[in-house]
Amino acid sequence: MKYNFHPLLAEQINKHINDELMEIPEIRNLLEDIDNSYNNFEEHYKQLEKILDISVKKLTNTNGKTV
């Protein structure tokens, strides 16, 4: 059975967990929570990258005006 997990988590599951374990609701629930954490981390990371990019552009623009 295939689940739609974060790509890194999916790799780890395929490596360490067999289909029989995936049928256990507690295991599936745990993996779904882990998947949510992976996705939340990735989303926060992307937001941080955008914020840093904006800050760099502002600083570059400010420095260009004062030179």
Q: What is the mean pLDDT of residues 28-45?
A: 97
- For the chain, counts of helices (H) and of strands (E): 3, 0
Q: What is the mean pLDDT of residues 30-58?
A: 97
The pTM assigned to this predicted structure is: 0.76
**At residue 67, does pLDDT exceed 50?**
no
- Tokens 């997990």, located at residue: 5
pLDDT bracket for residue 3 (50, 70, 90): confident
pLDDT tens-digit map of 12-21: 999 999 999 9
Task: Report the mean per-residue pLDDT for the chain.
Answer: 92
Any idea where the domains of the chain sit in the sequence? Answer: 7-66
